[in-house]
Amino acid sequence: MLANTFVPAVKPLGPVMVSLAKIGLTVTLFFIGAGLSAKVVRSVGIKPYVLGIMLWLVISSTSLYVILHTV
C-alpha cells in the first residue's frame, strides 16, 4: 500500500499485488479450515464461539456507525 501510494513506478503492479494478496488469504483460510474436524471443534468448547460472535457484533456495529455518521 505504501509503495503503491508513494512510488509512482509501482502503481501498475498494484492490481497484481491485490490479486496475489486475495489468493494468499484464500489459501491460508482454506488450510486453517481444513485442519479442523468436528471432534476438534467440540473439544474447544463454546467460549471461542461466543467471543467470535461478540467481536463480530462489535466490529460490524462500529463499522455501521462510522459509515452512517461520516456521510
Q: Can you give the residue ranges of every domain in the chain? A: 1-35, 41-71
Distance, CA of 13 to chain centre? 22
* Separation of alpha carbons 4 and 19, rounded Å: 14
* Separation of alpha carbons 65 and 9, rounded Å: 37
28-57: per-residue pLDDT in tens?
898 888 887 778 878 988 898 899 999 999
The mean predicted confidence, pLDDT, of the chain is 88
Q: Are 37 and 31 in contact (CB under 8 A)?
A: no
pLDDT given at position 36: 78
- Percent of the chain having pLDDT more than 70? 100
pTM for this prediction: 0.47
